[in-house]
Amino acid sequence: MSESQVESSAPEPKKRKATETRSQVWDHFEKNLSSEGNLIKGMCKYCKKTYAADPKKYGTSSLKNHSIACLMNPQAKETRQSRLAFGRGESNESVLTNWVFNQDNVRREVTKMIVIDELPFKFVEGRGFRGMMQAACPMFKIPSRWTVNRDIFAIYLEERKSLKKFFKEHSQRVSLTTDTWTSVQRINYMCITAHYIDAQWKLNKKIISFVPIQSHKGDAIAKALEVCLVEWGIRNIMTITVDNASSNDVALVFLKSKLVSWGCSSVRAQYLHMRCIAHILNLVVQDGLKMADSALKKLRDTVRNAIPYRYVFEAYDGHEPSFKLDLGDSLLADYDWVYLESFINLLKNFYEMTIRISGSLYVTSNSYLTEICDLGFSLTEMIASPNLTEKNMDQKMKDKFDKYWGDEEKMNLVIFFANIMDPRDKMEYMPLQFDQLFGAEKGEACFRKVKSQLTTLFEDNVQQYSEPSQSQSQSQSGKGEALLVRSQSKFKSLLRQQKLDSGALDGKTSELDVYLGEAIVDDNGKEFDLLMWWKLNSARFPILSKLASDVLAVPISTVASESTFSTGGRVLDNFRSSLTPKIVEALICTQDWLRGPSEPIAVEENLEDLEKFEKEIDNLRVGTSSTRHEENIHSVGTQASDFGGFEEVDTDVDP
């Protein structure tokens, strides 16, 4: 074998593997390598300072020291002083606070902003948002849209758990409103909203479910309600407010039996079904509109809001022959004007009433009886009108009114209880109101029934909230007595306690009797806070106040649930129709919980503010144009004098 062959067959020396940097300090520094690939410097990821980092000469000691001392390093917040910053106090005043950057806190607030302001998930990936965060908080690591999706669902589960705990620990009854809606995906959604008064006597509403259902039939609605109540652990239901669809009647019959099987007393279960007053008002108005169709068609054909210009039309008709020719049969006659004026006044009353009873941030159940009595009285007066068309229209509306509110058997007695729980009314006007609604004979019977049922409901509350009596405790502890003697003692003490609770023994007066025996509150036309009154008097009426809390929290319309569909329409628009039902529910419920009860979202701009803003822009534009025009003329005049082209320049500007 030749020498060259021996050399070629000799093994090549192994190359030394490059040493990997194992120090955790490189989580906070970027490596700066030489052209040969050797590490020479490290640059801080937060403040961009560089340090020599050759492992053979310097090591990582200087990098570690800087990592601990760097004010922009979020990982070293425990080892450095916090920053001073100006924040906002409870009354929106500037206050000096300590501030320490926290990646998780900022990320959570960004997620809440996307939910509350209904922003798209990809908003965090936009150039504008990234530029803003780079200027405001450069150390914040911006999450992706998928991370935002997961964060939204995490916040939803967290808030849901907190709300479930509240319902579990508090004993007050909850009232529900529910309605259904079909999205752009052609999916049927059902919204369920809970209404309750908390320990501070504040009225609250919370969306607890926004889920797809198979159909709008009664069995599907009942199943969705049952699943929702089971998931939330809610058993203490006062009422469920629904519209007048027959499917809702079927659903609530099923749910009533289900609540009784869960332990709800039959006394409370009988008040479960509450009909939406707004839907009934709509039916009454629609019957009236059918009778006014001819005059309304003429009015629409002529011009909208034409009543203030009635005499202009009449004068124009007398001086312009073609006016009548153009309008033909659509020309309004004198009796049409009179009829429409009275009809518009009536519609105004309906509109104002609808606005009053549709609130969800204030108590409405106490005004139900007053509202329908006033409406019934107005319809009865208008039936006496000499105008036959107007009389027929009002009679048609009164017939529809009597169908729902002319028979107390079709009305939920809770609305009467809520009226009694208003210390400004109690039972002071109720006999006359019943006489006006149902007639003298039926009205008197209804009044007796309301008093009896209210007493029964109050006694049911007494049994639920009263502590065991001393005699009951003693009878339970007397285990050494004979069986016969023990049974008699227990039975007698039970009867005695029931009589004590009802005020039938020793001349004791119940809380209900004391409350009704006191004079009504005279508010003198001033603003009256009903819930505050009960908060101040709850110590005097510990059990009756709980009943008041239950009935005053009852919503008398489904507007609270229906308004949620506006949010649903924005969440599920044509550009985001691929969202799953789970994330849709998370978005809608979380937005409702985070926004708070007294902060309704403003989706549309205020038109009056926009008009003022446009006028300011127009004035500014006109002023700027005039200034520029004068400057141009001045420039032309200067040029003319410079070149001698003109002797005089006219500077009169046409405004």
Query: Residue 108, Cβ neighbours under 10 Å: how many?
Result: 15
Beta bridge partners of 242: 275
Under the banding of pLDDT at 50, 70 and 90, the label for residue 223 is: very high
pLDDT at 412 over 60: yes
Cite the DSSP H helix spans in 70-144. Answer: 103-116, 127-136
φ, ψ dihedrals at 194, nearest 5°: -100, 135
- CATH of the structural domain 153-276+558-595, one choice from 3.30.420, 3.90.105, 2.70.98, 3.40.50: 3.30.420
The residue type found at 149 is N
Q: Return all residues near 337 (Cβ < 8 A) that are at least 6 apart.
A: 307, 310
Secondary structure of residue 238 in the 3-state scheme: strand
- Please tell me the total number of residues recorded for the chain in this structure: 655
Instruction: Give ∠ CA 66-72-76 in degrees, rounded to 5.
Output: 65
- Residue 385: closest CA among 437, 347, 335, 436: 335
- Residue 212 has what DSSP assignment? E
DSSP string, 390-447: HHHHHHHHHHHHHHHHS-GGGS-THHHHHHHTSTTTTTSSHHHHHHHHH-HHHHHHHH
Beta bridge partners of 439: none
- Look-up of token digits 């006006």: 436
Give the domain ranges of the chain. Answer: 24-79, 83-152, 153-276+558-595, 604-655
Q: Return all residues near 406 (Cβ < 8 A) that are at least 6 apart.
A: 437, 438
Percent of the chain with pLDDT over 90: 28
Q: How far apart are CA 581 and CA 591, in angstroms?
A: 15
End-to-end CA distance of the chain: 111
Encode pLDDT of 34-89 as tens digits: 888 888 889 998 888 899 888 888 888 888 888 877 877 766 654 445 565 556 65
Secondary structure of residue 555 in the 3-state scheme: coil
Cite the DSSP H helix spans in 233-320. Answer: 246-261, 266-269, 277-291, 293-302, 310-319
User: If you average pLDDT over residues 363-390, what whole number do you get?
Assistant: 84
- Residue 86: closest CA among 71, 77, 103, 98: 98
pLDDT at position 154: 93
Query: Do 490 and 468 touch, CB atoms closer than 8 A?
Result: no
Query: Residue 86, Cβ neighbours under 10 Å: how many?
Result: 9
- Residue 44 has what DSSP assignment? E
Beta strands 188-197 and 50-52: pairing type?
unpaired
Encode pLDDT of 594-617 as tens digits: 987 554 444 344 445 545 655 665
Encode pLDDT of 523-569 as tens digits: 776 788 999 999 999 999 999 999 999 999 999 888 877 777 766 66
> What average pLDDT does the structure give for the chain?
77
